[in-house]
Amino acid sequence: MSRSIESLKLAERVADDLLRAVGESIPVDVGRVAEMVGVATVETAPMIEDGRTMWTPIGPVIQLNPARPKTRQRFTLAHEIAHVVLGPSSDPDRVVYRRAMCDSEIDEEHLCDAFAAALLMPRTWVNDQVRFWARPTFTLNLLRAMSGHAEVSISAAAARVTDVAGRLCAVIRWSKVGNEFVSTHRAALPVDLVGKRLRLGPTTSDYLVANRADGWIDGDIVADNTRLPARMQINRDRKGMTMLITAIGRRD
Ligand SMILES: [Zn+2]
C-alpha cells in the first residue's frame, strides 16, 4: 500500500475515533468535535479564504468565513479541526503524528479535506445511504438525501461517494447564460477532466432542445476539443442545470 493511501486511511481512522467519542449521529455535531480536540473558540471573521486556525495562548482559535454557505462552513470547520489534530508544525509533541499522517506524496491540505469528508460522512453511513438510495445506480436523489441529512454540499457528497464506492459519481453544475449552458461548478470529476474547458456535447444539447422532461440520457460533453459520450442524469431548474455523470469515456 502506498504511503499516501496509508495517510488517508489514518485520517479516516482518526475521524472515526472522534465520531465514536461524540456519539456518531448524523448530522455530526462539528462544534463538539472541535471542543473535544481542544479548540478554544470557533468564530466568524471576514476573510478571503474559507477559514483558518490561529494558535493563541488560550489554545487554537478557528475562524470561519461567514460569507460562505453554512454547508461550506461546516466542511471548513471539519478541515480546520484536522489542522488542530496535526498541530502547529513547530510543536515537537505533534511532530510524530504529523509525520505519520503527512508525507511527501500528499500535502496537508489534501489530508485535512479527506479527514473532513470522513468526519461529516462516515464510511459506514455512506455505504448505508448508497444501498438505500442508489439501486441500481447513483442518482441525484442519493446526493440530495445525503447532503440534506449530513448538512454538506452536493459536491462534497459526490466526492465522498466516489471515494467510498470507488465508482464515478461526478456532478457538474451548468448555469444558463443567454441560450447557453456554462459549466460553473464541478465535483468528483475524473482526473483527466480536471482543469479542462467543458461544454455540452451535441447529443446532450439536442436532447435539451427537443425534450422538456429531465431524466437519464446517453449524452455527451466536450472537454477542450474532445467529445466524450457520457451516461448522465440531468435536472433543469430556473437558473440552469445539475448533471450527475456515472460513466464517461471515449468511444472507440
Ligand atoms: Zn487547510
Q: In this structure, what are the phi and psi dihedrals at residue 233, rounded to the nearest 5 degrees?
A: -110, 130
Average pLDDT over residues 206-231: 95
Alpha carbon of 109 to ligand 1 centroid (Å): 5
- d(CA 64, CA 110) in angstroms, rounded, equals 19
| Residue 92 confidence (pLDDT) above 80 | no
DSSP per residue over 214-233, as a string?
A: -EEEEEEEEETTEEEEEEEE
Alpha carbon of 195 to ligand 1 centroid (Å): 21
- d(CA 244, CA 232) in angstroms, rounded, equals 5
Tens-digit pLDDT profile for residues 32-68? 999 999 999 999 999 999 999 999 999 999 999 999 9
Alpha carbon of 149 to ligand 1 centroid (Å): 25
What's the mean pLDDT when you consider all of the chain?
Answer: 89
Given this model, what pLDDT does residue 9 score? 87
**Residue pointed to by grid coordinates 459520450:** 229
| Residue 31 confidence (pLDDT) above 50 | yes
β 59-64/226-236 pair status: unpaired
Percent of residues, the chain, with pLDDT higher than 70: 90
What pLDDT band is residue 10 in, cutting at 50, 70 and 90? confident
Listed range (17-21, 40-44, 102-106, 231-235) with the worst mean pLDDT: 102-106
Alpha carbon of 113 to ligand 1 centroid (Å): 8
What pLDDT band is residue 6 in, cutting at 50, 70 and 90? confident
Average pLDDT over residues 194-208: 95
Alpha carbon of 21 to ligand 1 centroid (Å): 24
Alpha carbon of 108 to ligand 1 centroid (Å): 7
Please tell me which residue, 86 or 28, carries the higher pLDDT value.
28
What pLDDT band is residue 96 in, cutting at 50, 70 and 90? very low
Average pLDDT over residues 87-95: 60
Listed range (75-84, 92-101, 211-220, 234-243) with the worst mean pLDDT: 92-101
Alpha-carbon distances, residue 21 vs 33, 79, 125 (angstroms)? 9, 18, 16
CB burial readout 176-215, b (16+ within 10 A) else e: eeeeebebeebbbbeeebeebebbbbebbbebbeeeeebe
What pLDDT band is residue 252 in, cutting at 50, 70 and 90? very low
| Residue 17 confidence (pLDDT) above 80 | yes
Which domains are seen in the chain, by residue range? 3-120 (1.10.10.2910), 122-252 (no CATH)
Tens-digit pLDDT profile for residues 106-150? 678 888 999 999 999 999 999 999 888 877 789 999 999 999 999
Average pLDDT over residues 75-86: 94
Alpha carbon of 240 to ligand 1 centroid (Å): 31
Listed range (106-120, 169-183, 202-216) with the worst mean pLDDT: 106-120
- d(CA 243, CA 154) in angstroms, rounded, equals 11
